[in-house]
Amino acid sequence: MKADLRSIISETACLDVPVASLSDTDNLYAVGLSSLGTIRVMLAIEEALGIEIPAELITFDLFQSIESLARLLASLKQDGRTECAPFAAMQRRE
Do 50 and 84 meet the contact criterion of CB atoms below 8 Å apart?
A: yes
pLDDT of the residue at 1: 86
Q: How many domains does the chain have?
A: 1
Residues 31-82 have pLDDT tens digits of 999 999 999 999 999 999 888 898 999 999 999 999 999 999 998 888 776 5
Reported residue count of the chain is 94
| CA 94 – CA 91 distance, rounded (Å) | 6
Do 82 and 76 meet the contact criterion of CB atoms below 8 Å apart?
A: yes
Do 83 and 89 meet the contact criterion of CB atoms below 8 Å apart?
A: no
Q: Which domain holds residue 42?
A: 2-93
CATH number of domain containing 18: 1.10.1200.10
| pTM (2 d.p.) | 0.81
| CA 21 – CA 88 distance, rounded (Å) | 37
Do 71 and 3 meet the contact criterion of CB atoms below 8 Å apart?
A: no
